[in-house]
Chains A and B, each alone.
Chain A
Amino acid sequence: MTTQNPGPKTTAAHRAAMAGARPMIEIRQVQKHYGDYHALRGIDLTIRSGEFFSLLGPSGCGKTTLLRTIAGFEDISSGVVLIDGQDMQEVPANRRPTNMVFQSYAIFPHLTVAENVGFGLRRDPRSRAEKAAAVEQALEMVGLKGYGSRASHALSGGQRQRVALARALILKPKVLLLDEPLSALDRKMREQMQVELIKLQRQVGITFVLVTHDQEEALVMSDRIAVMFEGQIAQMDGPEALYARPTSRRVANFIGVMNFLPARVLGETGEAVQIEAPGLGRVDIPMANVSRADPGDAGPSVGFRPEAVSLLATGAQTANRVAGGVIDEVVYYGDMTYYDVRLDGSAGFDGQARPVRIAMRNVFGREVQDVGTRANVSWSPGSLVLFR
């Protein structure tokens, strides 16, 4: 592998390195039909070398089909799949430079841990001792040093996952494909494995393609995410951009929680759209934050994340804009408190009151507010996204 260590994920240097990396997987106009059913409707996608890329979407959106297309388990109806510049049309799965971690892990139950990990080395010309050393090294990499002689069926879920990873990575593939690898683990284990996977990917420098329906998992682990609905890519972006500026209301709804208020468009200049929303008044939304509404929407709407606004302590000053309201509901989570606030004049357009959800971190000294008390909500125009 020639990929250099891209460094910590969130740094600008890492992003720059990623943007300059050569393409590893290129998918051009890929279609897949099963009879009348269109599983993939024209996918265009470039995944760069060394990237941690996620395919995110609800079940049945085609993300697993797309992954299996890259692996070579599914034939495509039309289009082109290139891996490292090479057309994969005539290359079967067992000769592609990809390896897969299956959702069920697919650990061979009749083999030991070491036999599982070394399975792909059967055709390797190296000596027995060299192969054994490679297996031991792979096991060490995933934190299973000394587990080689164990029976694989006696392993826990997390250990099976590690064996599956070692078994795939020992072949040094150009691309590692992960099909919902964490969905079978409990929450604690899942969070731990997320971090380990990021570290592992950084260490080996291999391109990872992850399929998941868990938006949090995708946000935590990926360099870039493709959100898919019904066989198409709805948006492809880095985690922060995806979260802060979803390009359609559907994506906004799928990723995290977003408040939506009906909006009325008043005017438009080159840089911004002026709207009016109940409770917020007149706002100029910068063009970068203008996205598509869903086909079924009654009209334009404006959205913001619960943590993009905050409750203002009484008497506090702020440079942001302030809206008054009444606390409708309080949900206490320990580290966070969620407030549902009915903004003054929120029933403005159609007489329907829509409380907005506000997330506040519970820092020391800040009291949890009571239901029914008046509150001032501080918000800034830059945190709003217009869907029209």
Chain B
Amino acid sequence: MKGGGLRAYALVYLLFLYAPILLLPIFAFNSGTIIAFPLKGVTTEWFAQMWGNASLRRALTNSLLIAVSSSILATCLGVFAARASTRFAFPGKGPIMGLIMLPLVLPEIIVSISLLVVLLSLGVQLSILTVILGHTLICMPYATVILSTAFNSLDRSLEEAAYDLGETRISAFRLVILPLVMPGIISSLLMSFTISLDEFIIAFFLAGNEPTLPTYIFSQLRFPKQIPMIMALGTVLVLMSILLLTIAEYFRRRGIAKTGAKDTGGFL
């Protein structure tokens, strides 16, 4: 069969990627405490345990707070950066954009330690706020790239037309540019949210005593008794990710249909 080898390769590849994730719900509903086959019986006890766990709830709220804040911050700053880089010429543009993109290639552990040193020497108390700042820093490159693409695809005369028709610079931006880059903004928010939510190293160094989801999960892995509950948590997180992506894709497609732009591929 033509392409049989490639087909098999693709199949093995997908299996390797997703089979571990498929195991999550299986063990989340398994009544045995040991993560191994054969399965024992069906239970929802681990979900109940997860629900009743106060420190897990705290970690989850912290993580959500951090992810929402840093994704909004990174996206707002990304809008400024993207607009500046696509619309204006100014001295030092290349180096400035380069510095924004730098966290993309810097080892995260170096970034975390540097931030820790700076924050401590400034006398800043480690808290959720410091994690938000760190996450904003590492989300900025992604936000900037996504938003630059969105801003770049806009015809410059659209803004001029709005200005010419009597709007101010600000209202022209609000009425014309913002709705047209909205898919980019949503993509940027989503991307930053996802990056922040499962970020471990910065959270580990900068959170002080506050747990985030990844640091909490890491700390619980030492106790084999807790592992089924972590499986249940993983299942919930996977479902939520799929839900989030679906919603984002819905809005992206609706945006494309509304403006008649060409679909250049999204998440799904």
Chain A residues at the B interface, C-beta cutoff of 8 Å: 71, 73, 93-95, 98-100, 102-104, 106, 108-110, 119-120, 122-123, 151-154, 167-168, 171
Contact of A100 among B161, B260, B261 (CB under 8 A): B161
Chain B residues at the A interface, C-beta cutoff of 8 Å: 155, 157-158, 160-168, 175-176, 179-180, 258-261
Q: Which residues of B contact A168 (CB under 8 A)?
A: 164-165
Q: Which residues of A contact B179 (CB under 8 A)?
A: 110
A151-B164 contact in complex given A102-B157, A103-B157, A106-B155, C-beta closer than 8 Å: no
Contact of B180 among A104, A109, A171 (CB under 8 A): A109
Q: Which residues of A contact B155 (CB under 8 A)?
A: 104, 106
Q: Which residues of B contact A119 (CB under 8 A)?
A: 162, 165, 175
**In whole Å, how far is A311's beta carbon from the nearest beta carbon of chain B?**
49
Closest A residue to B167 using CB positions: A94
Contact B166 A106 (CB under 8 A): no
Contacts A108-B161, A109-B180, A119-B162 aside, 8 further interface pairs with beta carbons under 8 A come to A73-B160, A94-B163, A94-B165, A108-B158, A110-B259, A120-B166, A123-B166, A167-B161
Contact A171 B166 (CB under 8 A): yes
Q: Which residues of B contact A71 (CB under 8 A)?
A: 164
Q: How far is the CA of A103 from the CA of B155 in the complex (A)?
A: 11
Q: Which residues of B contact A154 (CB under 8 A)?
A: 260
A122-B157 contact in complex given A109-B259, A109-B261, C-beta closer than 8 Å: no
Contact of A106 among B160, B167, B168 (CB under 8 A): B160
**In whole Å, how far is B150's beta carbon from the nearest beta carbon of chain A?**
13
Q: How far is the CA of A108 from the CA of B155 in the complex (A)?
A: 10
Q: How far is the CA of A371 from the CA of B155 in the complex (A)?
A: 52
Contact B261 A167 (CB under 8 A): no
Contact A122 B166 (CB under 8 A): yes
**In whole Å, how far is B178's beta carbon from the nearest beta carbon of chain A?**
10
**In whole Å, how far is B253's beta carbon from the nearest beta carbon of chain A?**
14
Contact B260 A109 (CB under 8 A): yes
Q: Which residues of A contact B162 (CB under 8 A)?
A: 108, 119
Contact A153 B260 (CB under 8 A): yes
**Most chain-A CB neighbours within 10 Å: which of B162, B165, B176?**
B165
Contact A102 B259 (CB under 8 A): no
Contact A102 B166 (CB under 8 A): no
8 contacts between A and B (CB under 8 A): A99-B165, A103-B157, A104-B157, A120-B166, A123-B166, A151-B258, A152-B260, A168-B165
Q: How far is the CA of A199 from the CA of B260 in the complex (A)?
A: 32
